[in-house]
Structure 1
């Protein structure tokens, strides 16, 4: 006897890259900054609350992504349409992001601990900074294409995918249409 098939059972969550799909892996070093609130000054002028830390971090992600795209997709990375770079990934995308933040001197040295202080930024702010930088790098047309995401925040050398110094390890891959269970 087989279990009844329900819509929820058919549409199982996607887990990792599909067979034969290699994720695009971007490793970037620098001091991570979360993308906090935006202050608006009228006439289209807006500034992020931590602009001085955020902009270098986003630039580092953009540069690392463009280098990786040029290596992974040499023919596509050079394509321009109307003078604008063509986004490499189209359709639904999954992302896995590990942000390695600096460990404060007050944190335990011999124990694995978690970055849960206000100075480590909210995890969703880190996600927004990374996704917006990847949009700027033309990895995809818009970060709305990311339909599945795992993000973690760790200290150097501690936890899954932690780098040896502050930065981020980003894996992205397209989700094939057949992976949604239809």
Structure 2
């Protein structure tokens, strides 16, 4: 299958470690921003591929409510894949360094986790299929940054 390339625009949100609330429930400290970013990535991938994300009405369902495909077969790629992404971040006016290396921005691996999870059930059935990943985190305006605004340029390809 040919590689799939698409662009998701919006403020990228990294997926950090989970925190525990008072009643033992796990949550992401940036949960609202993270969910919005994942939705933007999923929508961009769906537009680029014409494929829909896995739709489950109850957590234990084994098939997609929209098409009836088994959860383990719901995706464009069913084997190992490589993910390559450039995450473009707006540079704060006070920052002079060429790369986003402060604690203000998520680590590159947090962006990788957010992207991989967002594509689960749409591009591939499970993010464990990503066996080769490369994520670059750049400021907009950097010579290597292909995007004119915040977002991510993502390519997923089959590994043979």
TM-score (normalised: structure 2): 0.81
> Which of 93, 105, 119 is matched with 2:104 structurally?
119
Inter-partner Cα distance in structure 1 for 2:23 and 2:125: 26
RMSD of aligned Cα (Å): 2.5
What is the match of residue 15 of structure 1? Answer: none
What is the match of residue 40 of structure 1? Answer: 20
> Which of 68, 79, 88 is matched with 1:91 structurally?
79
Aligned residues between the structures: 146
User: Cα deviation per residue 1:21-60 (whole Å; 9 max; x = unaligned)?
Assistant: 6320010100011101212348883210111211111110
* Secondary structure, counterpart of 1:32 in structure 2: coil
> Which of 37, 43, 65 is matched with 1:57 structurally?
37
Moved more, 162-171 or 32-41: 32-41
TM-score (normalised: structure 1): 0.71
Inter-partner Cα distance in structure 1 for 2:22 and 2:39: 25
| More helix per residue | 1
What is the match of residue 175 of structure 1? Answer: 159
Q: Which runs of 5+ in 1 are unaligned?
A: 1-20, 72-77, 177-182
Inter-partner Cα distance in structure 2 for 1:80 and 1:69: 19
Q: Which runs of 5+ in 2 are unaligned?
A: 52-65
